[in-house]
Amino acid sequence: MRPLKVLLLLIAGVYVLPAALSALLWWTGEHPGSWRQADWSSAKILPVPAHDTPAALYILAARTGGMKGAVSQHSWIVLKGDGASPYERWDKVGWGMPIRQNHRPADGLWYSNVPEIVVAVTGERAERLIPQVLDAIASYPFAASGGYHIFPGPNSNTFVAHVMRAVPGIDATLPAAAIGRDYPSEGRLVALDPDRAEFRLSLWGYAGLVVGWDSGFEVNFLGLVAGLDPRRLAIKVPAFGTYALRGT
């Protein structure tokens, strides 16, 4: 029984306590009571698109609504071709046909929460990556009605993480608080990705392990991620996210 007790204590200390603390802090804060009361307008964090601006690829993430926001973020993809004026936004949502294009402003607040820019690529590199991103969006295996499951996935973060893994030139990962990003959308419980220098192990999204150049060392349990990233001198705290002493 001793090993089991140690395991339960580790789970409680590493995952349950941070999630409970984050929920308490979230509950005591001010948040919109429903999606109707939330602000969805532009956060004005992306450059104004114009015909004379270069191609751009962005991935954004923001805390979601309700008590889910205490532990999770929602992520989406923004594209702009070279010489194109408007941005194109792609996300996955939990109603109807789940893959949506331009249903919110490109850098819109999500449930009144300001998004962070996870990936920003512009110019010729973005121009090369955009067709690959569009191909990955088109081939996403859970795009039909009914293809959204809030937990363990496939959800909104599963969709964005799938696209990121499918495009080797996107050398980044979603935030640690993006619950659902580790769901095995490709159908493989064990995966070695040479392009990303990454090894992934998943128990159908309920628990798993990731070791890689961009990810560092992560152990996820019920969607909550704990880990270390020696390259960035960072620690990943369940529900809270990543705290780093230096950037990429």
What is the predicted pLDDT for the residue at 50?
84
Q: Which two tokens stand for residue 214?
A: 């961009």
Q: Look at residue 220 in the predicted model and tell me its pLDDT.
A: 96
| CB neighbour burial string for 45-83, b if at least 16 within 10 angstroms, e if fewer | ebeebeeebebbbbbbbbbbbeebbbbbbbbbbbbbbbe
Backbone angles phi, psi at 189, to 5 degrees: -80, -25
Please, are residues 201 and 209 in contact by the beta-carbon 8 Å criterion?
A: yes
The predicted-structure confidence for 234-248, as pLDDT tens digits, reads as follows: 999 999 999 988 665
State the CB neighbour count (10 A cutoff) for residue 102.
Answer: 13
Does residue 1 have a pLDDT over 80? no
Spatial CA neighbour of 237 closest among 246, 224, 221, 248: 224
Q: What is the pLDDT of residue 189?
A: 96
How far apart, in Å, do the first and last CA atoms of the chain sit?
A: 43
* Structural domain spans, the chain: 2-244
Pairing, β 99-101 against β 116-122: unpaired
Residues 2-36 pLDDT 10s: 888 888 888 999 999 999 999 999 999 999 988 89
**CA dist 145 to 152, 156, 193, Å?**
17, 14, 29
- Exposure of 183 in the CB half-sphere (CA atoms within 13 A): 23
Share of residues in the chain with pLDDT > 90 (%): 82
- Return all residues near 92 (Cβ < 8 A) that are at least 6 apart: 98, 99, 100, 148, 154, 155, 156, 158, 159, 160
In the chain, DSSP finds a helix count (H) and a strand count (E) of: 4, 12
Answer for the pair 216, 200: CB distance below 8 angstroms, yes or no.
no
Which of the four pLDDT bands, split at 50, 70 and 90, describes residue 78?
Answer: very high
- What is the pTM for the complete model shown? 0.94
pLDDT tens-digit readout, 46-64: 999 887 789 999 999 999 9
Q: Is 21 exposed, middle or buried (0-12, 13-18, 19+ CB in 10 A)?
A: middle
Residue (of 218, 209, 152) closest to 185 by Cα position: 152
**What are the backbone dihedrals phi and psi of residue 179, each rounded to the nearest 5 degrees, phi first?**
-60, 135
Distance in angstroms (rounded) separating the CA atoms of residues 61 and 116:
5
Beta strands in 12-155 (DSSP E): 56-63, 73-80, 88-92, 99-101, 116-122
* Confidence at residue 52, expressed as pLDDT on a 0 to 100 scale: 77
**Cα four-point dihedral sign 117, 118, 121, 127:** negative
What is the residue-averaged pLDDT of the chain? Answer: 93
